[in-house]
Amino acid sequence: MRPLEDIRVTAVEQYGAGPFASFHLAALGAEVIKVEDPRFGGDIGRYIPPFQEGEDSLFFETFNRNKKSLSLDLTVPEGRRVFEDLVAESDAVLSNLRGDVPAKLRLRYEDLAEVNPKIVCVSLSGFGMTGPLADQPGYDYILQGLAGWMSLTGEPGGPPTKTGISLVDYSTAYVGALALLAGVHAARRDGRGMDCDISLYDTAVSLLTYPATWLLNRGWEPRRTTRSAHPSLVPFQLFKGSDDRWFVVGCPKEKFFRRVAETVGRPELADHPDYLTFADRAKHSEALIGILDDLFAARTASYWIDRLREAGVPTGPVQDTAEALAHPHTAARKLIVETPHDVFGPVRAPASPVQVGDPDDLSYERAPRRNEHAREILEGLLGYDEAAVRRFAQRGAFGEAG
């Protein structure tokens, strides 16, 4: 039995952040019922190019494995009735909509408590359900700029730069999944559900972590660093071998610098008064990095990576995406999974990294076709007979898909 097999989540979700939150819950065994608005053809993620066919895309397949789909129009009374019947059978409602929309669609705890007093209502939005920006649409790129991330990323003197992937979205998804599990735990203990107000903005600001603490308490000015160097630990940055391949060398502990000095054939550097401590090396970083640059440039990146790893120094190459996916450690950790698909063929995609228990117990199903599980949910879970389903459909509960 997988860890979350006793949890059912009704997910009013779309695009990336919300589906990525429920993706991990589904991977751990939760039953995730994906409610898709038939007025707009369901989750917009179904239509993201490239590699998009009909109502499916490889983007959608990435975030929606192991879920069930039901087309449901929450704006009509009959659709609302079906939704509330689902809520009565669920542990949580997860939505990722603009911060003011949960109130408009009545997705908050105060709106659903009479239906299910233990329901946990998780709203994952751009800016949260309160504050001056609550009614603004929020996307990862916007948040990386607003929260200061882009001012810290890239080379000094260069333009503001975002991370290569949507880290605000995906980090917020983990926060949302964590909040949902905490909420369900408390609801089962106390007999009362709650709201969980999660936002991209909150997550992005919280991830400023120690640079924010340094700034708030000592006026330290965060800034971009050359070759992605750590702001205070030296050396901890990119270096280049004689073959022009980049690699990272990190010294987050004093012992690692001594090992670096020995590996490059300059053990006396570790005892030099300018380089004895973290603070000393930071103060004289320009001179030290110049010495190391010259030494590392004499051999290939792979040579240094091998020698440094043998010495127990944190190091690794800068790989492209294909190299990372093909790395033996990726295979050993079973980080690529495969699901069958009638349009795209076998779909290979990253696994959830949340491994709990025996990974061999995990199973993977392709993302659902829109409304694929209508009969199972309506008749099996909610107990509607055919006449009731037909009546709901005639009154627009399921849109065109009904």
Domain boundary among 289, 317, 345: 317
Is-catalytic flag, 272? no
**60: Cα within 13 Å, side-chain hemisphere:** 28
Whether residue 172 sits in one domain with residue 87 = yes
Query: What number is the average pLDDT over the span 181-188?
Result: 98
Lowest mean pLDDT among 94-108, 207-221, 255-269, 347-361: 347-361
Q: What Cα–Cα distance (Å) separates residue 325 from each residue in 16, 64, 133, 330?
A: 21, 20, 38, 6
Q: Number of structural domains, the chain?
A: 2
**pLDDT for residue 402:** 42
Q: How far is CA 22 from the centre of its chain?
A: 10
pLDDT at 377 over 60: yes
Query: Do residues 14 and 67 both lie within one domain?
Result: yes
In this structure, are 156 and 39 located in the same domain?
yes
- Over residues 17-21, the mean pLDDT reads 97
Q: What is the pLDDT of residue 1?
A: 83
**157 exposed, middle or buried (CB, 10 Å; 0-12, 13-18, 19+)?**
exposed
Mean pLDDT within 64-91? 97
Whether residue 305 is contained in a domain is answered as: yes
Answer yes or no: is 2 within a domain.
no
The pTM for the full model equals 0.94
Q: Are residues 301 and 371 in the same domain?
A: no
78 & 180 share domain: yes
Residue 230 shares a structural domain with residue 171: no
Question: Would 218 be classed as within a structural domain?
Answer: no
336 shares a domain with 313: no
The residues facing 350 across adjacent strands are 336
Regarding whether 380 and 268 lie in a shared domain, the answer is: no
Residues 157, 93, single domain; the answer is yes
Q: Which of 24, 185, 230, 327 is catalytic?
A: 230
Residue 393 in domain = yes
Examine the domain organization and report whether 55 and 185 are in the same domain. Answer: yes
Residue 252 confidence (pLDDT): 96
**Whether residue 297 is found in the same domain as residue 387:** no
Residue 196 sits in the same domain as residue 305: no
Task: Out of 317, 350, 377, pick the residue that ends a domain.
Answer: 317
What are the tens digits of pLDDT across the range 195-245? 999 999 999 999 999 999 999 999 999 999 999 999 999 999 999 999 999
Which of 258, 287, 317 represents a domain boundary (last residue)?
317
> How far apart, in whole angstroms, are the C-alpha atoms of residue 93 and residue 73?
16
Q: Looking at residue 273, which CATH number applies to its domain?
A: 3.30.1540.10
> Cα–Cα distance between 366 and 353 in angstroms, integer?
18
Q: Domain for residue 211, yes or no?
A: no
Task: Quote the domain boundaries for residue 260.
Answer: 226-240+246-317
Cβ atoms < 10 Å from Cβ of 289: 18
Residue 362, pLDDT score? 77
